[in-house]
Every structure is written in structure tokens, then in C-alpha cells.
Amino acid sequence: MSEPVDRLAVRQMMRGLDGFARGLGLDESTTRKIVEKVIADMPEHLHDERLAEARRRMIEAST
């Protein structure tokens, strides 16, 4: 069973990525799924590393 996603981390990343996501034309639901997956995939990484990975995945999702 996987561990629950850190809701505080999700909120912080969503806040930090809001403008970037809107600029790419991604809706909140898609952005949240990406953020939750990044946090689950990278539990030991720094916040900035997670943000960079989330941005990369968001760009990929927007194409």
C-alpha cells in the first residue's frame, strides 16, 4: 500500500506552479495529478527539485 501524499506539500507546490500551469493551458485537476505523482515519486527530494520535475512533466503534458 502506498503512503498518502503530503497534502501540505501539494498545496505549496500548487501555489508555486499556478501561473506556470495557466500559461501552459493546464487545468487545476491535471496540475494536481502531476504534483501528487511527483511528490509520490520523489519523497526524499528537495522542494526545488520536485518543482523542476513538476514543470518538466507539465510541459510534457501540454504538448
Residue 23 to residue 59: CA distance in whole angstroms: 10
Answer yes or no: is pLDDT of 12 > 70. yes
Phi, psi of 49 (to 5 degrees): -70, -40
* 56: CB partners within 8 A, 6+ apart: none
Element (H, E) at 54: helix 47-62
Query: What's the chain's average pLDDT?
Result: 93
Q: Decide if pLDDT at 2 tops 90.
A: no
The more confidently predicted of residues 28 and 6 is 28
What's this model's pTM, rounded to 2 decimal places? 0.88
- Calculate mean pLDDT across residues 32-44: 96
Residue 31 has pLDDT above 70, yes or no: yes
